Amino acid sequence: MTIVYDDRGDEETQDVPVRRIRFTINGEKKIAEVEPRLLLAHLIRQGLRLTGTHTGCDTTNCGACTVLVDGTAVKSCTMLAVQADGHEIQTVEGLATASELHPLQEGFKEEHGLQCGFCTPGMMMAAKALLDRNPDPTEEDVRWALSGNLCRCTGYQNIVKSVLWAADKLRSQAG
Amino acid sequence: MYPSRFRYEAPHSLDEAIGLLTNGGDYAKVLAGGQSLVPLMKLRFASPELVVDINNVPGLAYHRAEPDGTLRIGALCRHADLERSQLLASTQPTLAAAAPLIADPIVRNRGTLVGSICHADPQGDWASAVLSLGGSIVAQGPGGRRSIPVAEFVTGPFQTVLEPDEIAIEATIPPAQGTRAGGYLKLERRVGDFATVGVAVSVETSGTVVTRAGIALTGVGGSTIGATEAAAALTGRPLTAESIGEAARLAADAARPRTDHRGSAEYKRHMVATFVERILGRVTEPAERAA
């Protein structure tokens, strides 16, 4: 795994601070060497080549880069990769199995919860954090939980329906 | 975007963290939730040489009430912890009202109240809420601990009295002198935007008389504004339409808003008065609020 940085030209390579971290991503254990300034979103996208996590605004607004860290939704453009040391990360790639979509993914398909799809991975991960905590959310709960994720296509209506669809399916599976 | 190069340390104790800050060169920053610091570093508004991440320091994630009623909020207590807190919901109406209005739900999972106050953004909501309650920040440095009232802690936009080798370890809210009521209202264009106007009002009443009042304003000046004259207009008398109206007028006078893309100065000043009246109107008409 290689991440390439710009060379400022004024430092010896051995003076560039690098740290070795150990973490789990989608159930797989990993060790990485990172510069402290590397953001978690970049470790995921460039280091691990998991490009399902999108970087949209890059300013902590849009939520397209949302992943779960120890089950909690986090904007991965606003967390340092070194801070993932010892933690468990889930990205959108961890939702489906080889043969089956996750109910959230099915929900987005059934209820037309996406158009361009850019915000979708972040929406799904924020929704997963909600459903893990509250398996029977109201429409208001869903809107509240997704209020840190921006979508410029759908007007949110179908995204909310998709999450409620997934909640129904997950409850019927559990029941 | 990524930050400029820095050295990163993640100590496991406060003493170690303070030691790193003491010996850490000219420009070190403490990293807690990172929801303000990391964006600033990415935009290169802040380029610390050393980042001391305190997330591995145990025993800072608490919020609890002492037997005397003092509320203590640790440096790693996240906004989301406060949003879901039964303790806040039952004893701290102003803080409970502010918690769900901080940034957005995902940012609230990581950001901290103490960090927000240390960031000292004039548009930060927590500083107003805590200021209205007469709260303080407890700072620990090589020489020990000191408690600094928030009114003196924030000295200007993004400026505090915190020394380079000090860490803000907790915020404290003094016990109520009587029954506590209040609220926080925020006008924002959308979730996650900075406040166009934010108003925190906290009152403590004994019988019908207000024994202590605090009013603080967000986003309408170069730093968080304590509207002390407005609060004084409420104190020592029952809450009436007249006293509320006077406090609203004085709070609007205390605001120093500027016209910008979020609204005109006149509009923001008007909203300050409206919010003071709205919060205190709800305090005086709890039955109507429940209905």
Q: Are residues B68 and B168 in the same domain?
A: yes
> Among B34, B53, B72, which residue terminates a domain?
B53
How far is residue B241's CA from residue A65's CA, in Å, rounded to a whole number? Answer: 49
Tell me if A60 sits within 8 A of A45, measured CB to CB. Answer: no
Q: Are residues B218 and B143 in the same domain?
A: no
**Ranges in chain B, pLDDT < 50:** 289-291
- Residue A8 falls inside a structural domain: no
- Residue A3 falls inside a structural domain: no
Measured between CB atoms, does A41 come within 8 Å of chain B? no
Burial of A121 (0-12, 13-18, 19+ CB in 10 A): buried
Q: Which chain B positions have a beta carbon within 8 Å of A36's beta carbon?
A: 6-8, 51
Number of residue pairs across A and B with CB atoms under 8 Å? 88
- Residue A5 falls inside a structural domain: no
| Residue environment code for A143-160, b if the CB has 16+ CB neighbours within 10 A, otherwise e | ebbbbbbbbeebebebbb
Q: Are residues B186 and B165 in the same domain?
A: no
Nearest CA in chain A to B190: A147
Q: What's the pLDDT score for residue B24?
A: 80
Q: Are residues A79 and A17 in the same domain?
A: yes
CATH number of the domain residue A157 falls in: 1.10.150.120
Q: How far, in Å, are A51, A146, B51, B56, B220 from residue A80 at the CA level? A: 18, 23, 11, 14, 32
- Residue A1 falls inside a structural domain: no
Which one-letter amino acid corresponds to residue B51?
A: V
Q: How confident is the model at residue A2 (pLDDT cuts 50, 70, 90)?
A: low
Q: Which chain A positions have a beta carbon within 8 Å of B192's beta carbon?
A: 61, 147-148
- Residue B1 falls inside a structural domain: no
* Radius of gyration for chain A, computed over Cα atoms and rounded to the nearest angstrom: 17
Q: What's the pLDDT score for residue A9?
A: 78
- Residue B2 falls inside a structural domain: no
Q: Which chain A positions have a beta carbon within 8 Å of B51's beta carbon?
A: 36, 80
- Residue B32 falls inside a structural domain: yes
Q: How many CB atoms lie within 10 A of CB A110?
A: 15
How far is residue B267's CA from residue A91's CA, in Å, rounded to a whole number? Answer: 44
- Residue A7 falls inside a structural domain: no
Q: Are residues B16 and B101 in the same domain?
A: no
HSE-up of B163 (CA within 13 Å, CB side)?
A: 16
The string of pLDDT tens digits covering residues B214-273 is: 999 999 999 999 999 999 999 999 999 999 999 999 999 999 999 999 999 999 999 999
DSSP string, B199-263: EEEEEEEETTEEEEEEEEEESSSSS-EE-HHHHHTTTTSB--HHHHHHHHHHHHHH-----BTTB
Q: How far, in Å, are B66, B68, B256 from residue B134 at the CA level? A: 16, 16, 21
Q: Are residues B69 and B168 in the same domain?
A: yes
Q: What's the pLDDT score for residue B51?
A: 97
Q: Are residues B215 and B168 in the same domain?
A: no
Q: How far, in Å, are A29, B125, B167, B283 from residue B170 at the CA level? A: 35, 17, 9, 29
Q: Are residues B165 and B220 in the same domain?
A: no
* C-beta atoms of B8 and A16 within 8 A: no
Q: Measured between CA atoms, how close is A99 to chain B, in angstroms?
A: 30
* C-beta atoms of B38 and A83 within 8 A: no
- Residue B58 falls inside a structural domain: no
Q: Are residues B192 and B121 in the same domain?
A: no
Q: Measured between CA atoms, how close is A116 to chain B, in angstroms?
A: 22
pLDDT, mean over chain A:
94
Measured between CB atoms, does A3 come within 8 Å of chain B? no
Q: Which chain B positions have a beta carbon within 8 Å of A78's beta carbon?
A: 34-35, 38-39, 107, 110
- Residue B40 falls inside a structural domain: yes
Q: Are residues A159 and A121 in the same domain?
A: yes
Measured between CB atoms, does A82 come within 8 Å of chain B? yes
Paired sense of beta strands B50-53 and B7-9, if any: parallel
Q: What's the pLDDT score for residue B286?
A: 62
Closest partner residue to A78 (CB to CB) among B7, B8, B35 is B35
CATH number of the domain residue A21 falls in: 3.10.20.30
Strand pairing partners for A49? none
Q: Are residues A131 and A80 in the same domain?
A: no
Q: What's the pLDDT score for residue B6?
A: 94
Residue B271, SS3? helix
Q: Are residues A35 and A80 in the same domain?
A: yes
Q: Are residues B183 and B201 in the same domain?
A: yes
| Residue environment code for B252-282, b if the CB has 16+ CB neighbours within 10 A, otherwise e | bebbebeeeebbeeeebbbbbbbbbbbbbbb
Q: Are residues A117 and A149 in the same domain?
A: yes
- Residue A2 falls inside a structural domain: no
> Among A94, A120, A142, which residue terminates a domain?
A94
CA A14, chain centre distance (Å): 33
Q: Which of B196, B16, B8 is nearest to B101 (CA)?
A: B196
* C-beta atoms of B191 and A148 within 8 A: yes
* C-beta atoms of B7 and A75 within 8 A: no
- Structural domain count, chain B: 3
Closest partner residue to A80 (CB to CB) among B38, B191, B192 is B38
> Among B140, B173, B206, which residue terminates a domain?
B173
> Among B141, B173, B205, which residue terminates a domain?
B173
The string of pLDDT tens digits covering residues B145-155 is: 999 999 999 99
Residue A152 structural domain: 103-174
CATH number of the domain residue B207 falls in: 3.30.390.50
- Residue B249 falls inside a structural domain: yes
- Residue A6 falls inside a structural domain: no
Q: Which chain B positions have a beta carbon within 8 Å of A79's beta carbon?
A: 34, 38, 110
> Among A94, A127, A160, which residue terminates a domain?
A94
Q: Which of A164, A150, A84 is nearest to A122 (CA)?
A: A150
Residue B34 structural domain: 7-53
Q: Are residues B81 and B124 in the same domain?
A: yes
Q: What's the pLDDT score for residue B69?
A: 96
HSE-up of B161 (CA within 13 Å, CB side)?
A: 15
- Residue A44 falls inside a structural domain: yes
Q: Which of B75, B14, B8 is nearest to B48 (CA)?
A: B8
> Among A68, A94, A120, which residue terminates a domain?
A94
Residue B52, SS3? strand
CATH number of the domain residue B111 falls in: 3.30.465.10
Q: Are residues A158 and A86 in the same domain?
A: no
Q: Measured between CA atoms, how close is B56 to chain A, in angstroms?
A: 10
- Residue B163 falls inside a structural domain: yes
Closest partner residue to B8 (CB to CB) among A75, A78, A82 is A82
* C-beta atoms of B6 and A37 within 8 A: yes
Q: Are residues B165 and B244 in the same domain?
A: no
Q: Are residues A111 and A68 in the same domain?
A: no
Q: Measured between CA atoms, how close is B2 to chain A, in angstroms?
A: 6
H helix or E strand, kind and range, residue B152: helix B150-153
ipTM value of the model? 0.94
Q: Are residues B87 and B136 in the same domain?
A: yes
The string of pLDDT tens digits covering residues A24-72 is: 999 999 999 999 999 999 999 999 999 999 999 999 999 999 999 999 9
Q: Which chain B positions have a beta carbon within 8 Å of A60's beta carbon?
A: 35, 38-39, 107
